[in-house]
Structure 1
């Protein structure tokens, strides 16, 4: 599998980038990992990088974006924060990935059995975690149901949707790029029980 170059990145459309990620997850679920020479990819990317996608995902150890989408070194910008929440640093990272470095798609990737979402539903307060969980509270309030496994999973999906809303609202750069069909911003959920990504 070849490493992304400026030329291959520029030829991609947001739709093709989406298809690449879908196909990569399909391989991951089927345990058909693409053979890559990682050492060669390290060398190939040593003088520059041209990732085709930005993935905003949770810090959860079960959801490593490169593996989940069967991608190699130099393919993805991976932005990770508990609960895949949005703040200025996250927005700046995504803007860099798309506007400066040329990525064609932004995936906001939530997942099942999310500890951050569960903690937000249970109104946990602890150190700096409190401020982070506050950013998930809009999803908790929108779902507004008795806390159980089903309502927590529903809250995780709503949290992804609200994160996308915040990206569009708080980043004029990304909103304009999406409007001009330069990028797509898409939500998705990873199932920790089977490895499948469902695009929302």
Structure 2
């Protein structure tokens, strides 16, 4: 598998970048790997990087984007934070990744059995974690269908909050970053959501 160059990055469309992620996840769940020489990629990226995707995911130890999408060095900007929450620093990183470096897709990737989502559903308060979990609360408010056991012990509620949180995060990216929103409107990038299943390794893409 080649290392992306400025030319290969430029020739990608947002749709083809999305397909690369889909193909990579299919390899992952089938226990296959693209043939790549990581040490060679170290050398090839030593003078510059031309990643094709920016992925916001959770710090969960099971959700490494490079692994679950079968990507190598220099392929993706990986932004990881508990609960795949959004703040101004992450937005700035996305603006750098897309406007300056030229990635073609932004993906917000949630996952099943997310501890941060469960914590938010249980209204956990603990030090600085309280502020982080508060950023997930809008998803709880927007979940209207579950009327009983609206807490972290109810898998249905947790799963629905997880999906809503991904979609609300995408809405916020568009609303709070005019730079990213303009790139999407002109067709230079695509913003998509997804859910990683920690039991199967499969990513369900929200399109």
What TM-score range do you get, normalising by the shorter chain? over 0.9
Q: Partners of 2:89 and 2:16 in 1: how far apart?
A: 28
User: Could you tell me how far 1:56 is from its partner in structure 2?
Assistant: 0.3
Q: Partners of 1:13 and 1:149 in 2: how far apart?
A: 37
2:174 pairs with 152, 168, 171, which one?
168
2:202 — aligned with what?
196
2:49 — aligned with what?
49
- Is residue 87 of structure 1 aligned with residue 87 of structure 2? yes
- Is residue 25 of structure 1 aligned with residue 31 of structure 2? no
2:3 — aligned with what?
3
Q: Partners of 1:68 and 1:171 in 2: how far apart?
A: 28
User: Could you tell me how far 1:34 is from its partner in structure 2?
Assistant: 1.0
- Taking the TM superposition and a 5 Å limit, the aligned residue runs for 1:1-200 are 1-144=1-144, 145=146, 146-147=150-151, 148-200=154-206
1:100 match: secondary structure: helix
2:41 match: secondary structure: helix
User: Could you tell me how far 1:140 is from its partner in structure 2?
Assistant: 1.0
Q: Over aligned residues, Cα RMSD in angstroms?
A: 0.6
1:159 match: secondary structure: helix
List alignment gaps of at least 5 residues for structure 2. none
1:54 match: secondary structure: strand
Q: Partners of 2:195 and 2:72 in 1: how far apart?
A: 21
Q: Partners of 1:191 and 1:93 in 2: how far apart?
A: 26
List alignment gaps of at least 5 residues for structure 1. none
Q: Partners of 2:122 and 2:106 in 1: how far apart?
A: 29
- The TM-score, its normalising length taken from structure 2, stands at 0.95
User: Could you tell me how far 1:142 is from its partner in structure 2?
Assistant: 1.1
Q: Partners of 2:56 and 2:142 in 1: how far apart?
A: 22
**Deviation sequence 1:97-122 (CA, Å, 0-9, x none):** 10000000000000000000000000
2:200 match: secondary structure: coil
Q: Which runs of 4+ in 1 moved over 4 A?
A: none
